[in-house]
Chain A
Amino acid sequence: MSQEIRMLPEQASTVAGQVDAIYLWLIGVSVFFSLLIAGLLLYFAIRYRRRAEGEVGGRFDSSTLLEITWSVIPLVIVLATFFWGAKIYFTMFRPPADAIEYFATGKQWMWKIQHPSGQREINEMHVPVGVPIKVTMTSEDVIHSFFIPAFRVKSDVLPGRYTTLWFKATKTGTFHLFCTEYCGSEHSLMIGKVVVMEPEAYQQWLAGGPAATSMAEAGEQLFGQLACSTCHQDGPTGRGPALAGVFGSQVRLASGRTVVADENYIRESILNPQAKVVFGYEPIMPTYQGQIGEEGLLQLLSYVKSLAPKPAETAAAPDAGGDGSAR
């Protein structure tokens, strides 16, 4: 047992320091209250120990003022902690607009990682340092959870749905990637590593592998192969709506509701088109359930996303009307 015992894992992402800060704050609060209580208990127990057999305690047994004091002080502390924790949480689940997008698919018992440029890895994830990276994840079977302790980020990975997390590594090195949702026999072997590299080294690493088609290009090819393009042509002539600019926009549905076209909406539109029919169109789109694998779906998703206007334009686009009927 010669290893040193660390108290904190390595800090290797932009949020790691924030998480450790609130952790240390709560340790401080806990130590303070524990010592306070322990000290008082000890002091009272000794000071008021029983000295004679028949002795009983005194009468001082209630005080509304004290009750209020020791309710309000902890309340203030926990509420402050709540706001601070919520702020970190929102940071964790709001990827910056310029994040580059990786894809991860969990499967009993491995992680399949895909780079935006199309490279694939298993149980390894090479990323450049200092660049925000968003990981869009799904599972082919049960629920898994994607956890990188050095980055202090984690998100469950669900079948039939996309979840995302993001991080910006601040250090090069190799870090653990764990599955933290129990997923069956080899749950504890569903581990991998995240290799953080200097951007140039990362480019070299990419170039070193077999040439790959990017996710969006692969998606475009699929779009043709699966004959999506027969209905989804550009221009108003198509039998289905044009997909340019759909991602991230507000879509008006036949039911009158309006929804945001996020990853899960696109997914549902392909697998279960009747669930949400776009206003002004017939529900003629066939379901592709069972015909496209998770990876193909991710490629189609990347393609549809690549048709979206750049972030700058999205910001400028008025969404006050929000009915999407302009398309």
Chain B
Amino acid sequence: MSAAELPATHYLNATHGLKSWLLTRDHKRIGLLYLLGVSFFFAIGGLFAALIRIELITPAGDVFQPDTYNRIFTTHGIMMVFFFLIPAIPAVLGNFLIPIMIGAKDLAFPRLNLLSWYIYMVGGAFSLYSLLHGGVDTGWTFYTPYSTAFSNTYVIATGLGIFINGFSGILTGINFIVTIHRMRAPGMTWFRLPLFVWGHYATSLIQVLGTPVLAITIVLLALERLFHLGIFDPARGGDPVLFQHLFWFYSHPAVYIMILPAMAVISEVIAAFARKRIFGYHFVAFASIGIAVLGFLVWGHHMFVSSQSVYAGTVFSVLTMLVAIPSAVKVFNWTATLFRGSVSFETPMVYAFCFLGLFAIGGLTGVFLGTLGLDVHVHDTYFVVAHFHYVMVGSTITAFLGGLHYWWPKIFGRMYSEFWGRLSAIVVFFGFNATFFPQFVAGYLGMPRRYHAYPEEFQALHVLSSGGSIVLGLGYLIPIVYLLYSIKWGKPAGDNPWGAIGLEWETTSPPPVENFAAPPVVEHEAYEYAERAERLGAAPTT
């Protein structure tokens, strides 16, 4: 760790100029391009969240017109879900790390990877343009027949943006799957893969299998809107609920596109800062696959009160309960990893602890919603809003930031301020809970979601929530400052600042263009801290 200087050439300074970035085929640079993209869309989504929280401070709908408010929450949802949460971890961290972690030079299809980024940016720009010029007021869920026959906003244009963006996800998924199958270094067997790679493998499966359904759904929506085919229109013998089935068949698994990579990051961080092999490696790996498979079978839990038959409801409820198990297994395994570990508390680990807290609350309240008789009451209230923010936003962003802080020294070769890092993690944690916990209470009391004005008795809870969101916003802003500062002025990090095990820590920080000076050969299991120490006959173990 005494490396005083960065290596002379690395992927960041090997070539220069805007063109060398915009036409790069280096997965590491593409990861950084994605980092710019997702940060941009996150900022937009966050801005719209702030507008929502401002409107809801008072019960009367006095800041915005109802139609404006409806456009605001729709824009917030679409930007965050499709252009930030879904791509955030896989496209940034996955892109950067998967080839390095398996000892490869790049992804299997580097040009396709660059194309994915362009598709993503075009899709995002397109959606953003239509959201800002006229906007859409259907909510990110586009329920029919409102979206097909009643809304006179830019549904098709926005949908087209999401449709385009879908191809980016599919291509990235295919790229990851092929890379993980074909490009592993000699000796890197499936069960030596870091859990980060397993998590991304499961995620890619969902992206490749699920996203086409979303694409088809959007096409049907557009056809119905343009030509009144009657697919979703009861007056023409269609079925509006069919849309909900199609939509959730993709969008429920999409939740796992967001959370599986988050879990994947947490596995890495916990192993590194407990300096111990993840407890139950095989169970954690298969839990990811289990979640991916079961995740496709539970979409009907969004429709317990939609006129779906009570028997269908029963089946979806049971399956939803089952999906809770692999998630619980992961949490128990992470906890057990600390047992007899050698635990330290640098910024990424503080984020991991925050993740565990938020994910526990998000996951457990999922069981509330999967419970039939209870869901009837809380469905489409703020209880649901709070639940999915805990899982999709709290957990995913916390893991994303944790991962970003963990690999930051690898990505840029320099360290950020530990003090500010830990502080921001703690601010995010408290801000998040202050914002969203009151929403569980409001929801159970009956506060419906997507309300622009509301009865006075809910005000106290909304004020708490809006207050919390200021803290949360601050928590998300602090890292931008010290991370950017560190790129130029941070202390050089050295190859392995955390003393972690993994191929990414065996190359220089930042890595060379081809990732490794010489192609690595893998001879040991993942996270073999204790074994390596014994081999070296040195360090004490607890």
Interfacial residues, chain A to chain B (CB-CB below 8 A): 1, 3, 5-9, 15, 18-19, 22-23, 26, 29-30, 33-34, 37-38, 40-41, 44-45, 48-52, 54-63, 66-67, 70-71, 74-75, 78-79, 81-82, 84-93, 108, 141-143, 145, 147, 149-150, 152-156, 158-161, 163, 176, 178-189, 191, 272, 275, 289
Contact = CB atoms under 8 A, between A and B. Distances in A.
Interface in B229-278: 234-235, 237, 240-241, 274-278
26 contacts: A3-B457, A19-B374, A34-B360, A37-B332, A41-B338, A48-B342, A49-B344, A54-B538, A56-B532, A60-B340, A78-B325, A79-B318, A81-B371, A89-B313, A108-B150, A142-B145, A182-B138, A182-B139, A182-B146, A184-B137, A185-B70, A187-B452, A188-B66, A188-B451, A188-B452, A188-B453
Given A49-B344, A187-B450, A188-B66, A22 B371 contact: yes
A5 B276 CA distance: 45
A66 B357 CA distance: 22
B373 A89 contact: yes
Given A33-B364, A57-B340, A150-B446, 7 more contacts: A45-B338, A49-B343, A60-B279, A71-B329, A85-B373, A158-B241, A184-B137
A289 to B, nearest CB: 8
Contacts of B328: 70-71, 74
Given A33-B364, A34-B360, A59 B530 contact: yes
Contacts of A59: 277, 340, 530-531, 541
B446 A57 contact: no
B279 A61 contact: yes
A41 B317 contact: no
A149 B321 contact: no
What 5 pairs between A and B have smallest CB-CB spacing? Answer: A160-B234, A88-B373, A149-B446, A57-B276, A89-B372
Contacts of B276: 56-58, 61
A79 B321 contact: yes
B540 A5 contact: no
B223 interface: no
A286 B367 CA distance: 49
Interface string B427-461: 00000000000000100111011111111110111
B220 interface: no
A166 B379 CA distance: 17
B441 A7 contact: yes
B441 A5 contact: yes
B2 interface: no
B49 to A, nearest CB: 17
Given A78-B321, A79-B321, A149-B446, A155 B146 contact: no
B514 interface: no
B499 A184 contact: no
B103 interface: no
A61 B444 contact: no
A33 B338 contact: no
Overall SS of chain A's interface: mixed
Nearest to A49: B343
Contact of B461 (A5, A145, A163): A5
A56 B541 contact: yes
A145 B305 contact: yes
A52 B457 CA distance: 55
A74 B325 contact: yes
Interface residues on B, range: 35 or more
A70 B329 contact: yes
B124 to A, nearest CB: 24
Contacts of B373: 15, 18-19, 22, 84-89, 91-92
Given A158-B240, A185-B66, A178 B448 contact: yes
A181 B341 CA distance: 49
A141 B233 CA distance: 10
Interface in B134-187: 137-139, 141, 143, 145-146, 149-151
A293 to B, nearest CB: 13
A107 to B, nearest CB: 12
Given A18-B373, A48-B542, A147 B343 contact: no
A142 to B, nearest CB: 4
B191 interface: no
A23 B234 CA distance: 36
Nearest to B69: A188
Interface centre among A61, A187, A275 (most CB of B within 10 A): A61
B331 interface: yes
Contacts of B506: none
B176 to A, nearest CB: 27
A180 B381 contact: yes
B283 interface: yes
B317 A85 contact: yes
Given A19-B373, A87-B373, A181-B143, A48 B235 contact: no
Nearest to B375: A85
A78 B283 CA distance: 20
Contacts of B531: 59
A86 B317 contact: yes
A79 B279 CA distance: 26
Contacts of A92: 373, 376
Nearest to A162: B307
A91 B376 CA distance: 12
Contact of B150 (A45, A66, A142, A154): A142
B541 A44 contact: no
Contact of A184 (B151, B337, B367): B151
Contacts of A152: 376-377
B451 A187 contact: yes
B146 A29 contact: no
B535 to A, nearest CB: 12
B306 interface: yes
Contacts of B461: 5
B356 interface: yes
A1 B332 contact: no
A71 B323 CA distance: 11
Given A60-B340, A186-B66, A149 B463 contact: no
A143 B448 contact: no
B417 interface: no
A180 B449 contact: yes
Interface in B331-385: 331-333, 335-345, 353, 356-357, 360-361, 364-365, 367-368, 370-377, 379-381
